[in-house]
Amino acid sequence: MDKETRMRTRRTWLMVLTAGLALLLTQSARAAVSDSLTVTITPNAGYSLTLSTATTGLDMGTVPLGASTQTVKPSTVTITSSFATTGLKLQGSMGGAGTPWTFAQNTAAQGSDELAAWAVFTDTSINNYAVLGTTGTNSNYFVGTTSGTTGSNVIGTVNAPVGAFTGSSSPLFIANAGQAGRKTMASLPTFAVDPNASRSFLWMYFVLPPATTDGNAKLVTLTLTAGAPNP
C-alpha cells in the first residue's frame, strides 16, 4: 500500500470514529432530557354489605291462616364495599319443621302451604310502617302478584336484581314512582364515601296460606348479595 492510499484510509477511519462519537453524544444528550417510569398498583377491593336486624322484630308470632302480617321496623342494609358503587340481588328460601311451605307462584291465588311474600327497599326517611300500606290493587310498595316480573316486589327463590337501573325492564323490590321514600337502589355508594346514601331500609309483608299441612313454625330467609352494579 502506497503512502497516498494509507492516508486516505486513515482519513476514512477518522471520519467514521468522529461520526460514531457524535452519534453517541447525541444519544446521551437526548436521554438526559426526559425519561419515565411506570408504577403498578392493584387495589385489594371487594363488594360487601351489612344487614342490621338488632332492633327489628322478625318473629311474627302466631298468625291466623289467610291473614297478613308485616315487619313494623325495617332492617337496615348498609353498603360497605371498597368499590365505588354496588348492586344488590335478593333471593328467598323457606325452612322450618314439618311440611315445608313454598312461595306462592301467584299471590292472587294461593294454595295450601303457599306463603305470599313481598319485600321493598326505601330510603331511611320512612320510619313508620303504616306509610307503606298493604298489598293489593292500590298498593304502591308491596306490589305485584308473581316474582321476577316487571315492577313486582314479590319474593321468590330466584336470585333477582334489586332496583331500577339503566336498561332494566324489571325494576324489583322498590316503591312505585313518586312515592315517599322511593329509592332506585341502582349503583349504591359505599359507606366510606356517602354514609347516608349507602343505607337503605328493607320492609317485608306476608299473607299466610289459606290452609296448612301442619302447625309448625316456618322460617323465611332472605339472602342479599352485593356485587357489581346491575347492568
Query: SS in 3 state form for the chain?
Result: CCHHHHHHHHHHHHHHHHHHHHHHHHHHHHHHHCCCCCCCCCCCCCCCEEEECCCCCCCCCCCCCCCEEECCCCEEEEECCCCCEEEEEEEEEEEECCCCCEECCCCCCCCCCEEEEEEEEECCCCCCHHHHCCECCCCCCECCCCCCCCCCCECCCCCEECECCCCCCCCECECCCCCCCECCCCCEECCCCCCCCCEEEEEEEEECCCCCCCCCCEEEEEEEEEECCCC
What residue ranges do the domains of the chain occupy?
1-36, 45-231
Residue range 66-79: mean pLDDT, rounded: 93
**pLDDT higher than threshold 70 for residue 26:** no
Q: Is 23 left (phi over 0), alpha (psi -120 to 50) or beta?
A: alpha
Q: Using a pLDDT cut of 70, give the percent of the chain over it.
A: 82
What's the CA gap between 146 and 144, in Å, rounded?
Answer: 6
32-41, 136-145, 196-205, range with greatest mean pLDDT: 196-205
Band of the pLDDT at 193, cuts 50, 70, 90?
very high
User: Greater confidence, 91 or 40?
Assistant: 91
**pLDDT higher than threshold 70 for residue 52:** yes
User: Greater confidence, 189 or 21?
Assistant: 189
CA dihedral 126, 70, 203, 137 (to 10 degrees): -80
**Residue that is written with C-alpha cell 398498583 in the block:** 41
Residue range 156-163: mean pLDDT, rounded: 92
Residue range 87-98: mean pLDDT, rounded: 92
Band of the pLDDT at 23, cuts 50, 70, 90?
very low
Band of the pLDDT at 44, cuts 50, 70, 90?
confident
To the nearest whole number, what is the mean pLDDT of the chain?
84
